[in-house]
Amino acid sequence: MKVSETRKLYEMAAALCPLVQKGGGIFIVNDRVDVAKAIGADGVHLGQEDFPLADARTILGPGRLIGISTHNPAQAVEAEAGGADYIGYGPVFPTATKENPDPVVGVNGLRQMRARVRIPVVAIGGINAGNIAAVISAGADCCAVISAVLVTSDPQATIAELVKAIES
Amino acid sequence: MKVSETRKLYEMAAALCPLVQKGGGIFIVNDRVDVAKAIGADGVHLGQEDFPLADARTILGPGRLIGISTHNPAQAVEAEAGGADYIGYGPVFPTATKENPDPVVGVNGLRQMRARVRIPVVAIGGINAGNIAAVISAGADCCAVISAVLVTSDPQATIAELVKAIES
């Protein structure tokens, strides 16, 4: 039997969203277009197996952000053509965060895809202080990091290293 | 990591909905208000821990059905006051279909609740050919059955018994 987590997700998102927005941040809900719309989120992030982009746009209207996780150039081009506001792209490097990850695209793969889309690209997958400069050089507008800051004894120091690497 | 089933749900619902509607049936999606809206379903069914009713109405508009699972008179009254089109009520009898079911309301509990709401009531929980007449007599407009027709050697015969019991 299904155990619904919807209300928990809704309440957590409704509580976090105004805090993030008050701090100048952008609040994006994963997959649940209905939750994003209801709580006043800035947008929704969709995976390839999530809610379809076109329907998300219909429900959310033009004023909200829709991001799509993409894993090869064809998906990236399709997302832009379909009206996505940004794409995720990766995994750029091998990652242990996700089960059954898509094939690694590499820095060169990121650069080649970057030349084919104009919307912002959020690089993801195995990015850390040692490789983030190369990812930015390849044309990523943003980088998503999970392991780099979670699997470390000193997250604050790691974040400082990441920022330094980006600025350099 | 989350494994999204959203696209599968969306595609299954989008395929089934027109078939059900063509046959004169009403097609209701569980919990996912966004999916219900996008595929043109007749409505959505919400549990107590699902998406909030008021937000579902905002997203779906007045023309679609919203049903709420309720398990005590207070929830039933609240659902009606909140604009639900129908309620589920139960479990009327002990049920093995659901893990951690709410307390059994019984036929008398169903009758007492029925006197407090005007919207249609779908009784659920342990209903079978042997007790369905009592459930209808207590004021249920519809009955939901799962085990009665699934845990039987001859579903067709069991359905015929249920229909006979309702008509009697």
Min Cα separation B53/chain A (Å): 11
- DSSP string of A96-130? SSSSSPPPP-HHHHHHHHHTT--S-EEEESS--TT
> Whole-model pTM?
0.86
| pLDDT for residue A75 is more than 90 | yes
Mean pLDDT of A44-51: 94
Report how many Cβ contacts below 8 Å link chain A to chain B: 79
Supply angle C-alpha A48, A53, A59, rounded to 5.
140
Residue A147 confidence (pLDDT): 86
Tokens of B34: 């966004």
ipTM of the complex: 0.80
| pLDDT for residue A98 is more than 90 | no
Q: Which of A30, A59, A98 sits opposite B34 (nearest CB)?
A: A59
B-chain residues near A55 (CB < 8 A): 10, 34, 37-38
Contact assignment for A7 to B31 by CB distance below 8 Å: no
Residue B109 confidence (pLDDT): 97
Which of the residues A33, A34, A100 would you substitute to probe the B interface, choosing the one with the greatest number of B C-beta atoms within 10 Å?
Answer: A34
Q: Which of A41-50, A151-160, B52-61, B86-95 is predicted least confidently?
A: A151-160
B-chain residues near A1 (CB < 8 A): 97-99
Min Cα separation A167/chain B (Å): 31
Q: Which of B10, B31, B98 sits opposite A51 (nearest CB)?
A: B10
Task: Tell me whether residue B124 is exposed, middle or buried, using C-beta atoms within 10 angstroms of its C-beta: 0 to 12, 13 to 18, 19 or more.
Answer: buried
Q: Which of B1, B8, B98 sits opposite A1 (nearest CB)?
A: B98
Q: Which of B34, B50, B56 sits opposite A51 (nearest CB)?
A: B34
Contact assignment for A52 to B4 by CB distance below 8 Å: no
pLDDT bucket at A4, cuts 50 / 70 / 90 = low
B-chain residues near A98 (CB < 8 A): 1
Supply angle C-alpha B43, B32, A48, rounded to 5.
130
Tokens of B24: 């004169």
B-chain residues near A29 (CB < 8 A): none
Which residue of chain A has the CA closest to B36? A34
Which parts of chain B register pLDDT below 70? 1-4
Contact assignment for B4 to A58 by CB distance below 8 Å: no
Which residues in A92-116 are b (16+ Cβ under 10 Å) and which e? Answer: bbebebeeebbeebebebbbebbee
Min Cα separation A168/chain B (Å): 33
Q: What is the maximal distance between C-alpha atoms in chain B? A: 52
The per-residue pLDDT for range A106-138, each reduced to its tens digit, is 999 999 999 999 999 999 999 999 999 999 999
